[in-house]
């Protein structure tokens, strides 16, 4: 049976990086003889322009039926001042909620060859490897009431016990496969919702006595991430804090254009680069495709349960970077600047080489 993969390229650089992701997906699926049916729908500004809604019912239904969903990026300055129902970003929030993908996994790794691309000192970032486990379908992004008038604006940050429990359990389980340390990030010195979060996380930890748990306030966590990113293994945090901290992770790794993510829940998972539609560079063919391609690697590992295929993609990315190729966002000593298309082509070539080495006996 064919597996349905829905592609939602979206806005700005979304379509540019989605094209790269699609090529890698098809190439690798063919090697593993995984039959795919790929369907594409507009989302965000692209959908608003065509259908006057940020996501159509048809697109949502297709995503619900899919084995996996890939999203490029949504957001377009043309829709910046519109009400919520007419904002591109609303499509993404609707989709996450509809698919119940409550956990957003955002790995941050520093490629050795890029440790000089980081805005931070090489010795500070080298070897950094952490995973942000961001709660994705609750918190201040979804709390009611919310609104604004001429004189007042408000949102509500609320978490239910079961929402905190399920994301915390996942973070502890993932930590067991890593270095067994969870850092829960909150603002419990000020917010009631964070005091509740911390209490529930401590209770969940009782089931994982082999995992170390520490708590940091989000302001301190942001500082620590810049000053000493090595200390982190799994960072467990709420929706908005995770959004902010993962962009700092982009600066640590060298570029937001490098960071992939998987949003997982009970059934279908959604794969999305951490970055947005980058209107400042859209249409120029220079977007970094690595975040999108690495998100496809996560799709093979999590949705298709083919971790070797995921690893092959990751190795092809690293080999290409090691050979000194990179888009302008990671320009620096030892990096030859190439376009999105050339970077993708080189990653595909290296994929092929690694595949051939593997099938002739070397280990992937």
φ, ψ for residue 51 (rounded to 5)?
Answer: -125, 5
Q: Which residue has the tokens 């080489």?
A: 353
Whether the CA torsion 218, 245, 268, 299 is positive or negative: it is: negative
Instruction: Please give the DSSP secondary-structure letter assigned to residue 46.
Output: H
- Alpha-carbon separation of residue 251 from 86, 108, 110, 244, 353 (angstroms): 31, 10, 10, 11, 31
For Mn ion, give the closer residue by CB, 233 or 243: 243
φ, ψ for residue 181 (rounded to 5)?
Answer: -135, 130
In the residue annotation, 280 being an active-site residue is answered as: no
One of 20, 28, 67, 92 touching ligand IPM (CB under 6 A): 92
For ligand IPM, give the closer residue by CB, 89 or 163: 89
Region near ligand IPM per CB under 6 A, out of 18-26, 88-96, 205-213, 329-337: 88-96
For Mn ion, give the closer residue by CB, 23 or 104: 104
Size of residue set near ligand IPM by CB under 6 A: 7
Are 128 and 109 in contact by the 8 Å Cβ rule? The answer is yes
In the residue annotation, 243 being an active-site residue is answered as: yes
**Options 76, 186, 243, 329, the catalytic residue:** 243
Region near Mn ion per CB under 5 A, out of 3-11, 168-176, 188-196, 237-245: 237-245
> At what angle are helices 57-65 and 88-99 packed, to 10 degrees?
40
Smallest gap from residue 243 Cβ to Mn ion (A):
4
Smallest gap from residue 272 Cβ to Mn ion (A):
10
In the residue annotation, 219 being an active-site residue is answered as: yes
Are 115 and 125 in contact by the 8 Å Cβ rule? The answer is yes
Cis peptide before 145 (omega within 30 of 0): yes
| Residue 287 contact among Mn ion, ligand NAD, ligand IPM, none, beta carbon within 5 to 8 Å by kind | ligand NAD
Q: Does 11 bind ligand IPM (CB under 6 A)?
A: no
Region near ligand IPM per CB under 6 A, out of 89-97, 125-133, 281-289, 300-308: 89-97
> Helices (H) and strands (E) in the chain — how many of each?
12, 14
Q: What residues are annotated to the active site?
A: 141, 187, 219, 243, 247
Residues that bind Mn ion (CB under 5 A): 243
């Amino acid at each position: 049976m064919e597996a349905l993969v829905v592609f939602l390229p979206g806005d700005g650089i979304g379509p540019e990086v989605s094209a790269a992701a699609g090529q890698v997906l098809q190439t690798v699926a063919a090697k593993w003889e995984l039959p795919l049916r790929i369907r594409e729908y507009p989302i965000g500004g692209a959908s608003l322009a065509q259908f006057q809604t940020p996501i159509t019912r048809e697109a949502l239904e297709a995503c619900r039926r899919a084995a996996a969903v890939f999203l490029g990026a949504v957001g377009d300055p043309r829709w910046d001042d519109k009400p919520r129902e007419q904002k591109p970003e609303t499509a993404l929030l609707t989709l996450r909620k509809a698919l119940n993908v409550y956990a957003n996994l955002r790995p941050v790794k520093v490629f050795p060859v890029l440790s000089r691309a980081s805005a931070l000192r090489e010795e500070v970032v080298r070897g950094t490897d952490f995973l942000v486990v961001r709660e994705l379908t609750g918190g201040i992004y979804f709390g009611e009431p919310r609104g604004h008038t001429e004189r007042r604006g408000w949102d509500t940050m609320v978490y239910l016990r079961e929402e905190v429990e399920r994301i915390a359990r996942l973070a502890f389980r993932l930590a067991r496969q890593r270095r067994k340390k969870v850092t829960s990030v909150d603002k419990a010195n000020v917010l009631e919702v964070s005091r509740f979060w911390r209490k529930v996380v401590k209770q969940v930890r009782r089931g994982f006595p082999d995992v170390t748990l520490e708590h940091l306030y989000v302001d301190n966590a942001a500082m620590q991430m810049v000053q000493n990113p090595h200390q982190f293994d799994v960072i467990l945090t709420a929706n908005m804090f995770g959004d902010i901290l993962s962009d700092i992770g982009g600066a640590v790794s060298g570029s937001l254009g490098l960071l992939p993510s998987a949003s997982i829940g009970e059934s279908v998972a959604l794969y999305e680069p951490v970055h947005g539609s980058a209107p400042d560079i859209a249409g120029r063919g220079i977007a970094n495709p690595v975040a999108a391609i690495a998100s496809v690697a996560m799709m093979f590992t999590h949705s298709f349960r083919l971790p070797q295929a995921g690893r092959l993609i990751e190795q092809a990315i690293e080999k290409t970077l090691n050979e000194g190729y990179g888009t302008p966002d990671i320009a620096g000593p030892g990096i030859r600047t190439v376009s999105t298309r050339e970077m993708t082509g080189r990653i595909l070539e290296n994929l092929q080489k690694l595949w051939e080495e593997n099938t002739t006996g070397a280990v992937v």
